[in-house]
Amino acid sequence: MATLLMVESWVQSTGLALPPLLRELGHDYILFTRDPGLYPDVDGERHPVVRDADEVIVVDTNDRASMTAAVIGIVCRRRIDGVLTTCDYYLDAVAELGRMLGLAGASPDIMRRAVRKDAVRTVLARAGLPGPRFAVAATWDDALARATELGFPLVAKPVDLNSGTSVHLVDGEAALKDAFHEVTGVERNTRDQPLARRLLLEEVLQGPEVSVEAVTVAGQTTILGITGKSVTPSFVEAGHVFPAPLPPAVAAAVTEHVRAALAAIGYSHGLSHTELRLTPSGPRIVEINPRQGGGYVFDLVRTVTGVNPLALLVDLALGRTPALDPHPTGTAAVAFVLSPVDGVVTGVDGRDELDANPSIARWQLDVPGAVRRPRDNNDRVGHVLAVDPSGDRAGEFAATAVGSLRLRLADGAEVAPASI
């Protein structure tokens, strides 16, 4: 049995799945959190992140000195075998603590680079990897000048947020101004960390979107598979299917491009979830995420290949070389329930049909409550996870199931979820 240090966590998805997995694997963990209240009760019970922790230590997780002092206090009385997190905003902190303790982990310098979208763009361009033209702006004058040089339409996004937050397609000066003030007007992220408040402008990449799920050990990258992604015009992820139905030559080009990109940023240890567009000129990086895929992608990979990315996360934190022998069988897909309107959902019709559907492995609806048209990935109302054990119809099954639901609104209206 090992003891791990968990530095915060996401609340949903991986945050719900990792704590019980650690217990199942026979490990203890100590939770560092600045506020246990960040993790609300689930179905009347304490959130798994807090519930399953062997110890909960309240410490300012945004302050390296405070965490260092807390770690020193721990190692005086018990061993720490690994450090991990599922939350993007603490990946660099985990790397620093791991290095301080002499444990396995990514280089702190490389991790700090990998979580900054502008830094990744710069490194990939210098390495000669083809990608969109881009620019970074800290002032409105710079934003307008750079956008004029690049030409509209453009994708505008913050350099250091996630979950599709504040990502906009801007088609002119007015939309650019709105995006600029939204990005630069927010001083801190949801974990109260200061933001760079810089706007990243990129040429629009045309073509379907996929993501590559991979694990890198000692600089060698193993591809777990490629996920097909359904994305709305506002860049909200509406669904995923694994594996993506790609011709072998396209899949090979995608994986080669990702390996080259990870090598270019110096990524040598950890999971990665790299998003790409399949453009007419070939695969192009959208973003590199130096962690497991969110949005239940890790569940799809586990279901189809038998390899659990969260178990790999634990192995990597403990300095173990993971056993990797993925054998994809069938397909798995998740479709998200998105509201087509702003309002208050009082109920959902169609739940019984989900329970009776043999292709639906799991579903969740986070209503009743207020909903809005999706602006980012946090605006999902729920999800449906479908499996086709021996075929390629899981995506169809998931989308059809979501489409059969009806959201009942407080104003008396009844609407279907936004189509995928």
Residues 220 and 199 in one domain: no
Measure Cα distances from 161 to 10, 19, 227, 254, 280 in Å: 14, 25, 22, 25, 28
The DSSP result for 241-273, as a single string, is EES----HHHHHHHHHHHHHHHHHTT--SEEEE
Q: Are residues 173 and 264 in the same domain?
A: no
325, part of any domain: no
Q: Does the pTM exceed 0.75?
A: yes
Going by pLDDT thresholds of 50, 70 and 90, the confidence category of residue 163 is confident
**Which of 203, 228, 250 is a domain's end point?**
203
Beta bridge mates, 336: 383
From 146, 172, 203, the end of a domain falls on: 203
For residue 138, what is the domain's CATH number? Answer: 3.30.1490.20
Residue 327 has pLDDT above 90, yes or no: no
Residue 23: the pLDDT is 97
Same domain, yes or no: 387 and 295: no
Extract the tokens encoding 188.
Answer: 């801190």
| In a domain? residue 123 | no
Query: Residues in the chain, how many?
Result: 420
Same domain for 365 and 290, yes or no, is: no
Assess if residue 108 is contained within a domain. Answer: no
Q: Indicate whether 358 belongs to any domain.
A: yes
Closest CA to 296 of 380, 232, 368, 375: 380
Q: Which of 87, 103, 119 is the last residue of a domain?
A: 103
Domain check: are 191 and 159 in the same one?
Answer: yes
CA distance readout (Å), 36 to 3, 97, 256, 267: 20, 21, 42, 32
Nearest to 158 by CA among 261, 287, 264: 287
Residue 111 placed within a domain: no
Q: Which domain holds residue 91?
A: 3-103
The predicted pLDDT at position 328 comes to 83
**Domain count along the chain:** 4
- Is position 150 within any domain? yes
Same-domain pairing of 287 and 230: yes
Determine the pLDDT at residue 14.
95
Share of the chain above pLDDT 90, in %: 95
The pLDDT tens digits for 165-217 are 999 999 999 999 999 999 999 999 999 999 999 999 999 999 999 999 999 99
**Does residue 370 sit within a domain?**
yes
- pLDDT at 420 > cutoff 70: no
Report, as an integer, the average pLDDT of 72-99: 97
Where does residue 188 rank: exposed (0-12), middle (13-18), buried (19+ CB within 10 A)? exposed
Q: What is the rounded average pLDDT for all residues in the chain?
A: 96
Is the pLDDT score of 97 beyond 70? yes
Report the CATH number that the domain containing residue 376 is assigned in CATH: 3.90.1170.50
Whole-angstrom Cα distance, residue 175 to residue 22? 46
Domain presence at residue 126: no
**pLDDT single digits (tens) 357-406:** 999 999 999 889 999 999 999 899 999 999 999 999 999 999 999 999 99
Three-state DSSP state, 198 = coil
